[in-house]
Structure 1
Amino acid sequence: MIKDNTTWYVSWFDTPFYHILYKNRDDREAQVFMDNLTRYLNIDENGKILDLACGKGRHSIYLNSLGYHVIGADLSENSIEYAKQFENDTLQFKVHDMCKPYPDTFDAVFNLFTSFGYFEKDEDNLDTIKAIKSDLNDYGIGVIDFMNTEYVIKHLVPEETKVIDGITFNLKRYVEDGYIIKDISFIFESKAYNYQERVRAFTLEDFEALFEAANVHLIEIFGNYKLQKFDVKTSERLVMLFK
């Protein structure tokens, strides 16, 4: 049995299996979100955007196609290596720890698709908010696109099986010690693999406390990618704009 005891997001995100499991994400939905968000923020046509925890760069690439200067940053060396094939004069990808400030400032910093709340230490979550604040220029806006925890827990599917590229992924989801956890197990080439995703079950109130501690101001809250009003009972997303 293969089980990597490194920090889960370091070991899991750098495997090819992570990208296989999530290969069918809805790119069209992501593009609509970026259209709505950049339009709402009224970012200048040649504005600078930091896509923080960019993965393989799907949001970064689309944002760049809209005319923005984009830096995609992620801790996963494998993801950045893949994304670099799409680089051009106004699109670069960098390996970067989002707990630390990036050495530049931007018109917007986007942290998308629940790419927050992975850390074991509370101070790392706070440091990430502080880092985003320092990454913003005088007029810049930070955006965190998180799950609506109450909705997710209410609709949690405890067990699920997905067959993708001939691999049978067995998924188990549960809530434990303030985290929403997904256990992922599968067999590949006669070897058994086990990985785990752990995301803090942050509520809006938790984020408000983090923002206050980081001395940033919450400007707007949306409940989906159409930027409709947030409702704690029915919204699937928690999209927060701050500066």
Structure 2
Amino acid sequence: MSDNNNKQPIINEPQTTNWFESWFDTEYYHILYKERNDEEAQLLMDNLTHYLNLPEEAKILDLACGKGRHAIYLNSLGFDVTGADLSENSIAEASKFTNDKLHFKVHDMREPFEEKYDAIFNLFTSFGYFDDDADNYKTIKAIHNSLTETGFAVIDFMNVDYVLENLVPNEIKTVDGIDFHIKRYLKDGHIYKEIDFVDKGKTFHFTEKVQALRLADFEQMMEEAGIFLLDIFGDYKLRKFYKTQSERLIMIFK
């Protein structure tokens, strides 16, 4: 991640861009989440590619790829992978791993791609960032329009009911000597995460905000978009989805 601090808003400074544009483009986002479980992520991708029975030369799009860890792993399985993300800094970092079958590009998920893909993966709750419901519809329609005729798409989202039941309202997480003070709550149909910390004498404040979308919300969007929901799973082992017990909401559609 870039060390350029110009994009890091100081506390109480008015946020002029979408929250995800400022937060995802900082080094601190990657510091806070550096310990995410790669084995768990790889298990999901192993299971998905096996379940979808993708051909060896399949073209896969990792949508909202961040610094590319999932795209890199999918490429290691032999697939032709494109990683796309709105964060220029993340794509610059991911692009260091580019090869003949691994490409990265800056892209807004609301816009369809010219190229068509055999599979599109939108992983780890990388949906529902927008304030306007129309943008969610644009995104799911863009995913659908970027598939080949035989292609499949996957959205891996949080299971809102499970998250709310297990929400930790306040937490301090220390990573690389930085104490991240985290506050979580539900407000106006969004799950918020307020993140406050001090580093190098500066005070920072960031907000994560994701729409509390449930299965019924996705089903309605897909019906309006003419999308066929094929299957639903509740965890990375692709076990059955249970509304109150499953940690994830994994939807496969075309």
Answer yes or no: is the 8 Å Cα contact 1:182–1:196 preserved in 2. yes
Q: How many residues align?
A: 243
**Cα distance 1:7–1:242, how it changes in 2: closer, same or farther (>3 A)?**
same
Q: CA deviation at 1:190?
A: 1.1
Gapped runs of 5+ residues in structure 1?
none
Partner of residue 93 from structure 1, selected from 104, 119, 136: 104
**Displaced runs of 4+ in structure 1, greater than 3 A?**
1-4
Return the match for 1:17 from 28, 33, 51. 28
In the alignment, the residues of structure 1 paired with residue 39 and residue 143 of structure 2 have an alpha-carbon distance, to the nearest angstrom, of 26
- Picking from 197, 202, 222, the partner of 2:213 is 202
**2-side partners of 1:11 and 1:76: how far apart?**
9
Structure 1 match to 2:156:
145
Q: In structure 1, what residue type is equivalent to 2:156?
A: D
1:228 is paired with a residue whose SS is coil
1:70 pairs with 81, 96, 121, which one? 81
Aligned residue in 1 for 2:178: 167
In structure 1, how many angstroms separate the alpha carbons of the residues matched to 2:202 and 2:69? 31
Cross-structure match for 1:214: 225
Deviation digits for residues 193-243 of structure 1 (CA, Å, limit 9, x no counterpart): 000000000000000001011110100000000000000010000000001
Q: Which amino acid is 1:140 matched to?
A: G
Deviates more, 1:81-90 or 1:2-11: 2-11
For normalisation by structure 1, the TM-score amounts to 0.99
Q: What is the aligned counterpart of 1:129 among 128, 135, 140?
A: 140
- Listed one character per residue, the Cα deviations across residues 28-76 of structure 1 (whole Å, up to 9, x for unaligned) are 0000110000000000011000000000101100000000000000000
**Equivalent AA in structure 1 for residue 173 of structure 2:** K
Contact 1:144 1:240 in 2 (8 A): yes
Gaps of 5+ in 2: 1-9
Whether contact under 8 Å (1:4, 1:195) holds in the other structure is: no
Partner of 1:178: 189
Q: Distance in 2 between matches of 1:94 and 1:13?
A: 15
